[in-house]
Chains A and B, each alone.
Chain A
């Protein structure tokens, strides 16, 4: 299964919602957009001068509405996707997006839901909070950001959900009282965390230490494909050889020569792009959250959306 049929959208509004964060409203070029469930993301394709960049973004707003909304944080050391969105995408720009995919769904058997957001990680929770309120499910939203200027949507969420929303600002010395929070929840509570990698790991570790079953702890961690040194990939089935540049993922390099590799999340989480390694003359740098550590260690497979080679040539079963 590949990334799914694509949809053409036109940007109908760009709003600055916080320091370095812009919200983009995407309207369909033809026909209505598919309904989506809380926690879903889309993959946005951007056509930069030299390449096509694909980044996943969580859908905000409410499923069934006439347009999609995403929010993008400008990150200086990224591979260019967020900078492209901030500098080149304006009202009227046409973009290609994937169908919505949900890798961060609400567990509907939960009796209570704790949502923990760090910075731009707030985006999936905007729809989740809406859905939980509509379902009359108890929830709390704990939202930490570096400063008030960077706390996108904080006031809006406070207005909508009142004392169910807890705000924390690093520069004012606030932090989420994780241990106390996780120690005192009723059975049947589910926790969802989205934010920087370090925060996610800290929350999951604290939860497990407090005796939470791992089935009740959910994380959305899209990794931006990290950059590294260039290398060559030999595609055994297609008979092609491609160069992977510093700021390119293997998946992007492969797509650029017209090979259709399967993918869904492009963030090392879903498992769709798992590819068998045929030969390798260096060290594979596994950046994904999907493969078992044993498999990573063996070097038998690689998630080509985020992982790389520290070496000169990698041969793949593609």
Chain B
């Protein structure tokens, strides 16, 4: 495994966030063809190529330390980004077990987990944490179990209860979201929290996805990619902070597209949790500046074509209306009309 050089740049203030060359090459580019439409694009979350974001069940990358700092800042200002209904305590422990076990197994240089019966010792070297606790006893951790481990894990985490033939958003840690709010959605069912999504309801996508997820099995996680675009490399584009980031969308001009506009990809994972029978839904955000993207000619060509043909409802829902045309114009310089190869990887 490649050693990770953790970056310390920021997702706010000076927007110093950047990807290394290695980080660019492993970016999960979401478009497998030159156009985009909703599908139930769920596939088994099995091990992908070495070095890719799919190599391990839980991906830890060069932004780990910076993202955990950003999460702490968000929580300091708004503790309601992390909430759990009382019946979700067992699912919280499931989450602790899943994250600690996978991170220690796949990144032994960074993390270690030692179990002595119910007494567990967790060492997180990048964040300089050494914690001994009793698995199942919340009083032995400095935060409730979900908050404790998700302050040390990249991406957003939702714990979803299953009952009455539906799924319920009953706990979560959500600080890196694309304009949705846990505080608003908590306690809603699958159909309710997907209410705002256009087109997909009519085509029955959510009925099929729900039926599939109700039968999700332990040990067989699944994943899908979702995407949007973000102006400036902000992780926190929440409704709660819309007054801070909404205005960014009017700052794009032909001279700054490459620097301002980012493709934002969510690697979404779903696991059946063994102790609680709840489902874990993870939403891991990857950002790629368009200046970085054009170093991969295939991706620049393809994004240009996807944006040009995107249905108007999706342009509006994803919040691209203000800067889509400017971005297409800028990207056209990098699209010579050559055919693109199949698949999502660089040529």
Contacts and interface: CB of A to CB of B under 8 A. Distances in A.
Interface in B64-95: 87-90
Contacts of A39: 277
Contacts of B89: 135
A109 B219 CA distance: 25
Interface stretch (A76-84, A97-105, A234-242): A97-105
A34 B274 contact: yes
Contacts of B161: 108-109
B274 A1 contact: no
Interface residues on B, range: 10 to 19
Contacts of A109: 87, 161, 163
A142 B274 CA distance: 27
B98 to A, nearest CB: 11
Given A108-B87, A109-B87, A109-B163, A37 B276 contact: yes
Nearest to A272: B215
Nearest to A135: B90
B332 interface: no
28 contacts: A1-B212, A1-B217, A4-B217, A5-B219, A5-B220, A34-B274, A35-B218, A36-B274, A37-B275, A37-B276, A40-B277, A64-B275, A99-B218, A99-B219, A99-B220, A101-B217, A101-B218, A102-B277, A105-B162, A105-B163, A105-B277, A106-B277, A108-B161, A108-B276, A109-B163, A264-B217, A271-B215, A272-B215
Contacts of B212: 1
Contacts of B277: 37, 39-40, 102, 105-106
A159 interface: no
A107 interface: yes
Nearest to B211: A271
B220 A37 contact: no
A260 B89 CA distance: 38
Interface string A268-289: 0011100000000000000000
B88 A99 contact: no
A226 interface: no
Nearest to A110: B87
Contacts of A35: 218, 274-275
A118 B162 CA distance: 26
B128 interface: no
A63 interface: yes
Interface in A1-21: 1, 4-5
A101 B89 CA distance: 21
A106 B276 CA distance: 9
B336 interface: no
A50 interface: no
Interface of B: 87-90, 161-164, 211-212, 215, 217-220, 274-277
Contacts of A99: 217-220
Interface in A251-303: 264, 270-272
A297 to B, nearest CB: 22
Contacts of A264: 215, 217
B105 to A, nearest CB: 13
Contact of A4 (B90, B219, B276): B219
B342 to A, nearest CB: 26
A215 interface: yes
Interface in A26-48: 34-37, 39-40
Given A37-B276, A63-B274, A135-B90, 11 more contacts: A1-B217, A1-B220, A5-B220, A34-B218, A35-B218, A100-B274, A101-B217, A105-B163, A108-B276, A135-B89, A264-B215
Greatest chain A CB density within 10 A among B219, B220, B274 is at B274
Nearest to B163: A107
A106 B211 CA distance: 19
Contacts of B215: 1, 264, 270-272
A254 to B, nearest CB: 19
Contact of B164 (A36, A64, A215): A215
A64 B118 CA distance: 11
Nearest to A3: B217
A105 to B, nearest CB: 4
Nearest to B97: A35
Contacts of B88: 108
A101 B274 CA distance: 9
A108 B275 contact: no
Contacts of B163: 105, 107-109, 215
The list of the 4 closest CB pairs from A to B, nearest first, reads A108-B87, A35-B274, A37-B277, A105-B277
A276 B276 CA distance: 34
Interface in A170-193: none
